[in-house]
Amino acid sequence: MTLVQDRGRVGYQQLGVSVSGAIDTDALDIGNRLVGNEFDAGSLEVMLGGMVIEFSHSTVFALTGADVSAVLDGVPIAVNVSYVAHSDSRLELGIATNGLRSYVAICGGLSVSRVLGSYSTHVASGIGGVEGRALSEGDVLEIEGLNDASFSGQIFPDGPVLEGSNELEVRVVLGPQDDEFSAVGIDTLLSYDYTVSDQSNRQGLRLDGPEIESKTGRYDIISDAVVNGSIQVPGDGKPIVLLADRQTIGGYAKIATVVTVDLPSLGQVAPGSKISFTAISTEDAQDLLAVRVECVENAELSRLVSPRSVWVDGDEVAVGVAENGVVRLADVDGITYPISVEKYTPR
């Protein structure tokens, strides 16, 4: 499944409009940085890989998030690097190996209509993206604005490395309704591993594990607003972590809230994985968030070897050093990342 997503539809929750947006916001932000976009640009969120993009214009793109053994015109490419695609290029995404969701950021951003200030697709309410739905074979998406070849050949040096692990540690801040739960109930949440159920989706992760005890045996509250990462506990005592596509209001007690910096990883854990929770203070969570901004939003991008931007035949673009019709971009940790450019003419 592929969806157009951005940072989400903020500002209309009091009217019942879900935020939606990319689940792995780190991958989204890194992708947009690599291709020179603003943080609010629309990108593709690809679930479990397995798709092909045919370019009809040359542009710069980057693949982030889960590694899907992507191949551009027959040549393997890496995640967290920006590449040039040509007017007849074909990008093939294989099977996701170390996570669930990959992101394709394109220089200039995807040009779909903004709905209530956002490109994000919320399928349940049919809002945003392409007709409020997932993309289907044959859809044609336009690119917003001009391409700039100088954004190719950039690499995000310290990108979060997805380990494809089936064990995840998640930090939470207790509350806002932790007082509805017994001490034993809170201890249960923080002491045992919970297993990601295959009933999980963009709305939330359903978890299997020991039942969390409430004080009164009841789990209902007078409905109130929820946030990204709210851990609600319905009557069966099994926690549900709410994610991007959550409804705005919920009626179950919320024992804890996942800290913002740990939300992206929740979008990459496969069903069957184990999650353990650790409680930290609000202040510590905010310190972590400040560090995240330094690491993702402000970290300096690296360049793959002496980059050169060249316009050929009006629109063909190449960056790097040409060798036998292949532009070789620098060695990165001993690996050479090539991009094929058929029509490149060295000057």
Contact footprint for other proteins (CB under 8 A): 10-18, 115-116, 125-127, 172-173, 175-176, 222-225, 227, 229-230, 247-249, 254, 257-260, 282-283, 285-286, 288-290, 293
Number of CB atoms found within 10 A of residue 166's CB:
14
CB of 4 to other proteins, least distance (A): 15
Q: Cβ 204 to other proteins, closest distance in Å? A: 15
Please say which residue, 7 or 86, places its beta carbon nearer to other proteins: 7
Choose between 56 and 282: whose C-beta lies nearer to other proteins: 282
Identify which of residues 239 and 320 has a Cβ nearer to other proteins in the complex.
239
Reduce the DSSP state of residue 172 to 3 states and report it: strand
Shortest reach from residue 253's CB to other proteins, in Å: 12
Q: Which two tokens stand for residue 317?
A: 């673009």
- Shortest CB 38 distance to other proteins, Å: 17
Q: Is residue 182 a contact partner of residue 217, using CB atoms and an 8 Å limit? A: no
If the CB atoms of residues 136 and 282 are measured against other proteins, the closer one turns out to be: 282
DSSP one-letter code for 114? -
The CB-of-180 to other proteins minimum distance in angstroms stands at 12
Q: By C-beta, is 170 or 329 nearer to other proteins?
A: 170
- Ramachandran angles phi, psi of 283, nearest 5°: -65, -45
- Complex with other proteins: residue 70 or 258, whichever CB lies closer: 258
Q: What angle do CA 306, 309, 313 make, to 5 degrees?
A: 145
Report how far residue 179's alpha carbon sits from residue 216's, in angstroms, rounded to the nearest whole number.
11
> Rounded to the nearest whole angstrom, what is the least distance from the CB of residue 94 to other proteins in the complex?
35
| Distance from C-alpha of 131 to C-alpha of 112, rounded to nearest angstrom | 9
